[in-house]
Amino acid sequence: VSDGVSRRQFLTAGSFFGWLPFIHPKHIQIAGARFRIVRNGKSRRRYILIHGDEETAREVLTRHMKARQGIAFLVENKTRNVPAGSGKIDPNRMFSREGAARSLERLNPGLAANQMKAALAEIEDGLDHFLRALLPTHGGLLVALHNNSEAYSVQDELAISDDRSIREPQNPHAFFLCTEPADFKILANSGYNVVLQHSAGEDDGSLSRLCARRGIRYVNIEVGAGRAGRQQEMLQWLEWSLP
C-alpha cells in the first residue's frame, strides 16, 4: 500500500466521520427548548438566541452566521417560555436548580410538588449535555442576543453589577452585559452602555450567572425589539474589538 492510498483512505474516513449526525448534530434539546445548531468554519466563538419571541435578535444572529465563523444555538420555539414537565419555564432560568424552581413557581401557580420535581428533573437531565455543547472552551467567548421592551433596561441591572459604563444614558435599552473584567475594560471604550457582573450575586438561574460562576467569558447584547440595525452594529463592534 503506497502512502498515497493510505492518505486517501484516511481523508475519506475523515470526511465520512465528519458527516455522522452524532458527531455534528443539527439540533439539541433541554426540557422543551429545542435549539438549531448552526456551524460555520472553525472558531471558539459561541452564540445563542434563547428567547423564541425575540425575532429581531433571531434575524441578526441568523444573518451574522452567514459571514462569521463559530457555532450558534438558535431556539426553535416561538414563545419566550418553553415546556418543562407539565409546566412552563423561562429557558434563561434553567441554569441553576434554585433559579429553575423560582421560574416554575412564578409561571405555573398551583403546580403540585411532584410535578415541580418532575419538571426540575427533566431540566437537570438535559443540562450537562446542553452545556457541554454550548459553552466555549479555552477562553472562547459566548455571545447571547436578547431584545427587550419598555419593561426592562440597563437601569434594572445597575444595582447588581460590579462595574458600569453608561455612555448612552438616553438609550438605556441598548447595552452589553459581560462577565469578565478584561472584556468589560474593552467594551467600556465602545461608546455603548456596559455593565459587568463578575462576582457571585443572587443566582437567578440565568446563563450569565452560570458563566460568571465558571469563569467563562460571556457577553449579552440587549437592544429594544425591532432595533436590528443597532444590534448588528453592537455585534460588529464586539467582533472587531474582543479577542
Binding interface with Zn ion (CB under 5 A)? 51, 146
Pick 116 or 219: Cβ nearer Zn ion: 219
Pick 56 or 161: Cβ nearer Zn ion: 56
Pick 54 or 122: Cβ nearer Zn ion: 54
Nearest-5° angle of CA 149, CA 63, CA 43? 110
Q: In the complex, what is the shortest distance from the CB of residue 23 to Zn ion, in angstroms, rounded to a whole number? A: 30
Show the cell assigned to 174.
441598548
Residues 30 and 126 sit within 8 Å (Cβ to Cβ): yes
**Would you call 164 helix, strand, or coil by DSSP?**
strand
Pick 51 or 227: Cβ nearer Zn ion: 51
**Would you call 42 helix, strand, or coil by DSSP?**
coil
Q: In the complex, what is the shortest distance from the CB of residue 146 to Zn ion, in angstroms, rounded to a whole number? A: 4
Q: In the complex, what is the shortest distance from the CB of residue 221 to Zn ion, in angstroms, rounded to a whole number? A: 11
Pick 107 or 186: Cβ nearer Zn ion: 107
Q: In the complex, what is the shortest distance from the CB of residue 216 to Zn ion, in angstroms, rounded to a whole number? A: 19
DSSP state letters, 43-106: -S-EEEE--TT-HHHHHHHHHHHHHS-EEEEEE--SSSSEEETTEEE-GGG-SSHHHHHHHHHH
Q: In the complex, what is the shortest distance from the CB of residue 182 to Zn ion, in angstroms, rounded to a whole number? A: 25
| Residues whose CB is less than 8 angstroms from the CB of residue 158 and which lie 6 or more positions away in sequence, other chains included | 164, 195
